[in-house]
């Protein structure tokens, strides 16, 4: 074979010397021809146009790094065997229709880094074998309908780094075998959902550097074969709608360098084949418990460079195949074993660059420090001071029981607390606990509910329980629970509220909140006390006033408008019906309900 081709190329050069046919096996001036590889290399030769005289059996043609401006019609005809054509790094701004006609065997076409602004329909006709097309780093503004229509075998389209503002709905028509599409940096203002839905075979889609803030519902419909979706560097993306990924069956999902502050749990839920999830570089603060359990096959989660403060126990419950957690560069103080379904499967853990508190909660990690793969980055202790800056691998087995320790939570003042008060009184019960790590404190009400930090009965930041304006039905025992990883402690207190004689009034709502009444007006105590007060007084007053003001101003504007209108028309209309829609955001204020929003007024 080799000998034969050398002989053939030799023969052609002789033909050329005799000034015969340029097309049949010549080598264009300034180009390097490597007949044995069937390559013609004209890279960096200051060519201003595509030269003539290629050997008709060339397989690979390299025209990169020249000054070519245009590619004419049927410019490469006769190169029946050409498989790879590279026109990258020129200044091509114009490619004529049918420019590549005749390149029946062309498999790879690169037109990267040129100055194309528009691709007329028909430019790519006659390329039945093309598998790979690179149009990146041009200035293309739109993809018109049917631009790629004859490229039935195209598998990969690189369209990144253009100025795309629009992809027409049928632009990708005919790309029935396209598997991979890259749209990096574009000026699109929305996801080209319609255009993408033509790509029935698409398995990999990458969309980078877009400036939209919401991934809308049904963004990727009909992409049933899509397995890998990459969304990255969308700096304003803060919302992933719950049905945005519906219809997809992904195995790999990346949403990196965006502005998500929560994990889009509900959008992910149906991705039961997902194995790889990367949400790195988003300001996510917590991985909540039990919300990823539907991702049965998840193996890797990357959330590097986020704002993680906590990974709640049970966060990865149900994920039996989970083997890699990458949470490097966050704000985690710990990572409890109870976060995982089974730590036995965990192989790779990136926990470095977190302010880790080296206590009993991290003992499970340090015990596995030789077996676990830290990907070359040892976790380092930030506290307590005794072990500050020490890497996990530095600890000897012997010192572990002494260092990675916790002190169980213990409630400090255990004196019995019991309050017998009259209705309307405010009562405080203290609960101070100690322990390492510092225990969390919660209160359970007499009705067995967890008391929240807001409301009439609430837990103050220092752990004290406050019961404001105690009511008879508040009576009962309350339990303070203090707990940390090492243990729990509890304390029970009692509250007994005595009802008031009927001639005393209930406390009433003023701008400052609840106020003890003067004895003047008696009210129906039992009936009113039972009602919870959903707003505080200020909100209520503002809401009412605002509602009323906006109502008045709307009416005034309508009135003025209609006055001028009737004047200019020269006809006087005497009545008008005005529909007033109260502003819903104002809560209670404004016209009350549907019917109240309409009235009739008279014009003079
Ligand atoms: C596309 O966006 C870039 C950067 O935001 C801007 O410089 C360029 O002018 C835009 N192009 C068009 C056509 O809007
Ligand atoms: C990201 O979100 C935060 C608030 O959640 C907002 O203040 C910030 O402007 C957003 N960043 C961008 C680039 O939109
Ligand atoms: C989803 O993808 C997985 C993995 O590629 C495949 O095994 C499964 O059959 C697909 N399911 C559907 C409904 O397409
Ligand atoms: C973890 O994430 C960081 C940041 O994205 C990356 O550099 C590193 O390679 C990841 N580690 C593994 C094991 O994938
Ligand atoms: C807790 O805070 C409240 C209000 O800030 C204060 O009245 C109370 O004395 C505090 N209790 C303790 C035990 O420090
Ligand atoms: C403390 O209480 C929590 C929930 O009430 C429980 O899950 C945990 O196992 C307890 N811890 C210890 C050490 O008893
Ligand atoms: C309530 O009424 C009783 C008798 O009706 C009276 O003795 C008592 O002083 C009244 N209490 C107050 C607080 O007004
Ligand atoms: C209190 O309300 C009940 C029923 O709501 C009513 O029967 C009773 O007369 C009221 N009492 C006073 C003092 O208003």
How high is the pLDDT of residue 547? 62
Q: What's the pLDDT score for residue 446?
A: 86
Residue minimizing CA distance to atom 6 of ligand 4: 304
Residue 398 shares a structural domain with residue 419: no
Q: Which atom of ligand 7 is nearest to the CA of 504?
A: 13
pLDDT tens digits along 36-90: 889 999 999 999 999 988 888 899 999 999 999 999 999 898 899 999 999 999 9
Same domain for 453 and 559, yes or no, is no
Which protein residue's CA is at the shortest distance from atom 1 of ligand 1? 187
Alpha helix segments (H runs only) across 46-86: none
Looking at the structure, do residues 413 and 398 belong to the same domain, yes or no?
no
235 CB less than 6 Å from ligand 2? yes
542 and 418, same structural domain?
no
User: How remote is the CA of residue 277 from the centroid of ligand 3, in Å?
Assistant: 17
Q: Which of 388, 405, 422 is the last residue of a domain?
A: 405
430 lines ligand 6 (CB under 6 A): no
- Looking at the fold, whether 49 and 108 belong to one and the same domain comes out as yes
Pair (360, 291) in one structural domain = yes
Q: CB under 8 Å to 384, separation ≥6 — which residues?
A: 357, 358, 359
- Partners of 457 in the β-ladder: 467
Residue 440 Cα to ligand 6 midpoint, Å, equals: 12
Check whether residue 371 and residue 440 sit in a common domain. Answer: no
Residue 258 lies inside a defined structural domain of this protein: no
Ligand 4, pocket residues at CB < 6 Å: 280, 302, 304, 326, 328, 348, 350, 375
Domain boundary among 500, 518, 550: 500
Spacing, Cα 297 to ligand 6 middle (Å): 29
Distance 488 CA to ligand 6 centre (A): 6
Ligand 4 atom index nearest CA of 375? 13
Closest alpha carbon to 133 in 93, 92, 88, 165: 88
CATH code of the domain covering residue 102? 3.80.10.10
Question: What lines the ligand 3 site, CB under 6 Å?
Answer: 227, 249, 251, 273
Residue nearest (by alpha carbon) to ligand 5 atom 1 = 462
Of 428, 431, 453, best ligand 5 pocket probe by most atoms within 8 Å of the beta carbon: 428
In short, whether 528's Cβ falls inside 6 Å of ligand 8 is no
| Residue 229 belongs to some domain of the structure | no
Handedness of CA 402, 405, 408, 410 (dihedral sign): positive
351 and 480 inside one domain: no
Do residue 305 and residue 330 come from a single domain?
yes
State if residue 487 touches ligand 6 by the CB under 6 angstroms criterion. yes
Beta sheet of 418-422, edge-to-edge order = 418-422, 487-498, 476-484, 440-444
Structural domain contains residue 362: yes
Q: Is residue 566 part of a domain?
A: yes
Atom of ligand 7 nearest to the CA of 503: 1
- Measure Cα distances from 391 to 299, 328, 374 in Å: 26, 14, 11
CA 131 to chain centre: 32
Is the dihedral angle over the CA atoms 36, 37, 38, 42 positive or is it negative? negative
464 CA to middle of ligand 5, Å?
6
Domain membership of residue 112 (yes or no) is: yes
Q: How far apart are CA 277 and CA 260, in angstroms?
A: 14
Would you state the pLDDT for residue 15?
A: 41
Reading the block at residue 507, the tokens are 């406390």
For ligand 7, atom 1, name the residue with the nearest CA.
503
CATH number, position 466? 2.60.40.10
Positions of the chain with pLDDT lower than 50, given as ranges: 1-4, 6-7, 10-24, 510-511, 518-534, 570, 572-573, 576, 578, 581-597, 599-601, 603-604
Annotate 499-518 with b (16+ C-beta within 10 A) or e (fewer). eeeeebbbbeeeeeebeeee
Domain, as residue range, for 385: 285-405
Residue 426 CB less than 6 A away from ligand 5: no
Q: How far is the CA of 464 from the centre of ligand 6 (A)?
A: 21
Q: Both tokens of residue 551? A: 């109502």
Same domain, residue pair 456 and 545? no
Is 10 inside a domain boundary? Answer: no
Number of domains in the chain: 4
- Residue 255: inside a domain: no
Q: Are residues 398 and 438 in the same domain?
A: no
Closest atom, ligand 6, to C-alpha of 485: 13
Largest CA distance in the chain: 126
Same domain, 315 and 433: no
Looking at the domain assignment, is residue 168 inside a domain? Answer: yes
Query: Looking at ligand 4, which atom is closest to the CA of residue 329?
Result: 4
Backbone phi, psi, residue 401, to 5°: -60, -25
Identify the residue whose C-alpha is closest to ligand 3 atom 11: 249
pLDDT on residue 497: 92
Tell me, what's the pLDDT at 559? 66
* CA nearest ligand 7 atom 2, residue: 503
Using the mean position of ligand 8's atoms as its centre, give its distance from the Cα of residue 526 in Å. Answer: 8
* Among 202, 236, 252, residue at a domain's last position: 202
């Amino acid at each position: 074979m080799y000998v034969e081709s050398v002989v053939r190329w030799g023969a052609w050069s002789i033909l050329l010397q005799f000034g015969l046919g340029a097309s049949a096996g010549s080598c264009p001036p300034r180009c390097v021809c490597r007949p044995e590889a069937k390559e013609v290399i004209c890279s960096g030769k200051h060519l201003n146009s595509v030269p003539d005289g290629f050997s008709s059996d060339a397989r690979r043609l390299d025209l990169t790094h020249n000054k070519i401006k245009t590619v004419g019609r049927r410019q490469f005809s006769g190169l029946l065997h050409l498989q790879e054509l590279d026109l990258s790094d020129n200044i091509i701004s114009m490619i004529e229709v049918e420019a590549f006609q005749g390149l029946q065997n062309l498999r790879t076409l690169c037109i990267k880094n040129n100055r194309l602004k528009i691709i007329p329909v028909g430019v790519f006709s006659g390329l039945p074998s093309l598998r790979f097309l690179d149009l990146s780093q041009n200035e293309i503004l739109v993809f018109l309908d049917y631009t790629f229509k004859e490229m039935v075998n195209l598998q990969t389209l690189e369209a990144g780094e253009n100025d795309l503002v629009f992809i027409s709905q049928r632009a990708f028509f005919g790309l029935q075998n396209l598997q991979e599409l890259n749209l990096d940096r574009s000026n699109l203002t929305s996801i080209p959902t319609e255009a993408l839905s033509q790509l029935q075979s698409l398995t990999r889609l990458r969309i980078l550097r877009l400036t939209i803030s919401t991934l809308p519902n049904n963004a990727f419909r009909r992409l049933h074969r899509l397995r890998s979706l990459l969304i990255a560097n969308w700096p304003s993306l803060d919302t992933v709608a719950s049905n945005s990924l519906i219809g997809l069956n992904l195995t790999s999902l990346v949403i990196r360098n965006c502005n998500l502050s929560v994990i889009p749990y509900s959008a992910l839920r149906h991705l039961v084949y997902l194995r790889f999830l990367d949400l790195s570089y988003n300001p996510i603060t917590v991985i909540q418990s039990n919300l990823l359990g539907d991702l049965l096959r998840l193996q890797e989660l990357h959330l590097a460079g986020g704002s993680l403060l906590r990974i709640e126990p049970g966060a990865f419950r149900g994920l039996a195949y989970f083997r890699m957690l990458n949470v490097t560069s966050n704000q985690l103080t710990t990572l409890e074993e109870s976060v995982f379904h089974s730590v036995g499967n965990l192989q790779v853990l990136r926990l470095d660059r977190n302010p880790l508190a080296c206590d009993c909660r991290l003992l499970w990690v340090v015990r596995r420090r030789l077996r676990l793969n830290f990907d070359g980055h040892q976790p380092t202790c930030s506290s307590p001071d005794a072990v500050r800056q020490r890497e996990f691998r530095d600890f000897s087995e012997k010192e572990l029981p002494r260092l990675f320790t916790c002190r169980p939570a213990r409630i400090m003042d255990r004196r019995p607390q019991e309050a017998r008060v009259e209705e309307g009184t405010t009562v405080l019960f203290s609960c101070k606990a100690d322990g390492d790590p510092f225990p969390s404190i919660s209160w359970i009400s007499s009705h067995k509910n967890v008391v929240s930090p807001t409301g009439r009965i609430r837990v103050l930041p220092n752990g004290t329980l406050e019961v404001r304006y105690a009511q008879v039905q508040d009576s009962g025992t309350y339990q303070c629970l203090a707990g940390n990883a090492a243990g729990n402690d509890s304390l029970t207190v009692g509250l007994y509220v005595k009802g008031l004689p009927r001639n005393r009034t209930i406390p009433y709502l003023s701008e400052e909140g609840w106020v003890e009444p003067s004895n003047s007006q008696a009210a129906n105590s039992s009936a009113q006390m039972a009602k919870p007060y959903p707003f505080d007084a200020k909100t209520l007053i503002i809401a009412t006033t605002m509602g009323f003001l906006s109502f008045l101003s709307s009416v005034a504007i309508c009135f003025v408008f209609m006055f001028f209108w009737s004047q200019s028309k020269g006809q006087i209309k005497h009545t008008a019906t005005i529909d007033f829609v109260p502003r819903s955001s104002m809560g209670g204020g404004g016209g009350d309900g549907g019917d109240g929003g309409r009235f009739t007024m008279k014009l003079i």
